[in-house]
C-alpha cells in the first residue's frame, strides 16, 4: 500500500496482459473480421501510430500483444517507451507485416494505448502540480472493471503512486465499517488484531475520519493512516499538527481535490492526496494509425 514509484515501473504480469488482450479481441473480432477479407490475403503493409496531442505514453505491451495474438510474424518497432512524454504528431511506433491482421488489430491496439496513455497523462499533470513537495498523489479503486492492473500501472508511468490494489491487500475502515463495529475505536482495534495475525504482514490500518474529534480518536486507537475526508485547509493543518505530536500516523487528504487546489492541500503537510479522477474521469489520448500497403 502506498508503494514507491520507480524510474521504470514494472508492467503487470505478461499472462494478465495476454488475457486482457484475448478478451478484447474476442469482443471485437468475434468469428472473424469481415472487412479485412476484402484485402488480398498475401498483401503486406506498414503502419505507424501517431500521437495527435501531447501525452504520456502507456500501453505498449498491450498493443504489442494484440498484434502478436493476431499474427506472430508482425513486427513492431517502438520509438518511445511507457512513461515517455510525446508531442502532437510524434510517431510512437512502426508496425510491419501481413496487411489483414494489422487492420484487424488497429482498433483494439489503439483502445489500449489511448486509454492507458490517458490515465498516465492525467497522472503526470497531478505529479507535476506538486513537484518539490513531500506529498505523494495516490490513485483509488475507482478503475475500469477488468483493467485495474493496467490502469494502476499507467498511474505509476505518470509519476503518481498506488493505494491498495483491492480489498485483500489493505485495510481501509470507512463510515459503514465504523457503524457496523459500533465505534471508530472498536473498528481500529479489530483491524489491528487482524493485521497482527497475518504472518510477516506489513498491512497498514487506515481509517477514514470526518471531524477533528475523530482524528483524535483514531490517533489514540493506533491507526497507521488517517484519511481526511473533505477537510477544510484549516482543519487539515490542525490534523497534521495532531498527527505530528503523536509521531507515528500518516495523513491522506481526499474528497473533491482538483488540480486548482492540489498544491495548496499538499502545502498543509499531509503525506498523501488520493485522487479518484486519475482513473475514473478518463480522457483517452487522441492517437491514429497511418497505414500503407507495401506489396
Give the Å distances, CA to CA, from 215 to 56, 177, 240. Answer: 38, 16, 10
Q: Are strands 171-173 and 91-98 parallel, antiparallel or unpaired?
A: unpaired
Beta pairing partners, 254: 229
- What is the chain's length? 295
Kindly provide the residue ranges of all beta strands, DSSP E only, lying in the chain, ordered along the sequence. 44-51, 55-56, 75-78, 85-86, 91-98, 136-138, 171-173, 205-209, 225-229, 250-254, 272-274, 287-293
Catalytic residues: 107, 142, 174, 208, 229
Identify whether the C-beta of residue 226 lies closer than 8 Å to the C-beta of residue 210: no
Instruction: Express the helix, strand and coil content of the chain in percent, nearest 5 each.
Output: 45, 20, 40
Query: Helix (H, G, I), strand (E, B), or coil: what is residue 108?
Result: helix
Amino acid at each position: 500500500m502506498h508503494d514507491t514509484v520507480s524510474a521504470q515501473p514494472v508492467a503487470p504480469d505478461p499472462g494478465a496482459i495476454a488475457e486482457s488482450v484475448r478478451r478484447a479481441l474476442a469482443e471485437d473480432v468475434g468469428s472473424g473480421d469481415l472487412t479485412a477479407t476484402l484485402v488480398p490475403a498475401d498483401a503486406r503493409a506498414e503502419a505507424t501510430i501517431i500521437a495527435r496531442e501531447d501525452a504520456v505514453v502507456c500501453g505498449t505491451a498491450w498493443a504489442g500483444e494484440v498484434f502478436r495474438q493476431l499474427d506472430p510474424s508482425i513486427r513492431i518497432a517502438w520509438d518511445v517507451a511507457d512513461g515517455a512524454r510525446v508531442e502532437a504528431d510524434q510517431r510512437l511506433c512502426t508496425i510491419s507485416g501481413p496487411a489483414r491482421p494489422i487492420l484487424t488489430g488497429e482498433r483494439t491496439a489503439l483502445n489500449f494505448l489511448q486509454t492507458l496513455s490517458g490515465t498516465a497523462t492525467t497522472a503526470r499533470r497531478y505529479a507535476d502540480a506538486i513537484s518539490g513537495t513531500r506529498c505523494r498523489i495516490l490513485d483509488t479503486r475507482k478503475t475500469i472493471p477488468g483493467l485495474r492492473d493496467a490502469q494502476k500501472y499507467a498511474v505509476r508511468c505518470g509519476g503518481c503512486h498506488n493505494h491498495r490494489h483491492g480489498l485483500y491487500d489493505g485495510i481501509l475502515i470507512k463510515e459503514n465499517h465504523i457503524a457496523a463495529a459500533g465505534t471508530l475505536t472498536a473498528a481500529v482495534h479489530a483491524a489491528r488484531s487482524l493485521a497482527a495475525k497475518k504472518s510477516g504482514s506489513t498491512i497498514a490500518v487506515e481509517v477514514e475520519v470526518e471531524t477533528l474529534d475523530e482524528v483524535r480518536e483514531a490517533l489514540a486507537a493506533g491507526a497507521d493512516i488517517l484519511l481526511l475526508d473533505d477537510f477544510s485547509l484549516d482543519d487539515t493543518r490542525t490534523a497534521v499538527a495532531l498527527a505530528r505530536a503523536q509521531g507515528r500516523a500518516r495523513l491522506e487528504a481526499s474528497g473533491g481535490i482538483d488540480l486548482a487546489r492540489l498544491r495548496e492541500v499538499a502545502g498543509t503537510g499531509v503525506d498523501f492526496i488520493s485522487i479518484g479522477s486519475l482513473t475514473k474521469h478518463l480522457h483517452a489520448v487522441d492517437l491514429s494509425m497511418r497505414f500503407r500497403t507495401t506489396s
